[in-house]
Structure 1
Amino acid sequence: MHGFTQLKAGPVTAGRTLTVVAALRAWLSAGLAAAASGISRAAINRRVVRQLSAMSDRELRDIGLSRQDVLDAGILLVEGDASDFLVDRRDERRASRSVPRGGWPPRRH
């Protein structure tokens, strides 16, 4: 061991090591939580689309959706969030049906 010196880990080195380990543990647990969240979110989306697919057209109309909306959401299961898509579709339809303020009853000119 000629030419090599041995360094003892002092309190600063030990503290830094603990900080790095804690940061690594936090990063790893956050990554695992995100992965688990993504998997459970995908499962929820599949269940929602499956339940909506079993509904009749009349039931879908009652909640502001169409059969095509459900089919489109089924395609999104691979690449996006189907429930957000369905809520946006419903809100678009509601907005297009709403009457502007002062627009009802229609005025005769």
Structure 2
Amino acid sequence: MTGATIQTARAALPTRLTLIDRARGHAVALLAAMADGLSRAALNARVLRQLGAMSERELKDIGLVRQDVYDAAALPRDGDATNLLLARRAERKAARRA
């Protein structure tokens, strides 16, 4: 190899590494998002099981009704049941104050 060829190969090397590093970063971000989605789905399922086992009185004590639990269970898997339940509770609390 001549000196010019070696210089050209060295100049191209950081670009290739940068592309590989960026691809690796995207893959890690995708895996992290998938893991986050799975853990959120597991959390939602656990919350809904616990709420489903509660009596009407216990649900009322925390500001919910049985229909809220049914609505949260009907959300798509990527929906966040916890946010829905908290929003319903806040709506009822605001309505009592008005």
State the SS of the aligned residue for 1:78: coil
* RMSD value, Cα: 1.8
| Sequence identity (%) | 49
The answer for the alignment partner of 2:74 in structure 1 is: 75
Aligned length: 94
State the SS of the aligned residue for 2:11: helix
Q: What are structure 2's unaligned runs of at least 5 residues?
A: none
1:42 and 1:77 in contact (8 A); partners too: no
The answer for the alignment partner of 2:65 in structure 1 is: 66
Q: What are structure 1's unaligned runs of at least 5 residues?
A: 1-5, 100-109
More helix by percentage: 2
| Cα distance in 1 between the residues matched to 2:50 and 2:7 | 64
Amino acid at match of 2:90: D
How far the C-alpha of 1:76 sits from its partner, in A, is: 1.1
Residue pairs, 1:82-101, within 5 angstroms: 82-99=81-98
Q: Which has the higher contact order (CA 8 A, sep 6+)?
A: 2
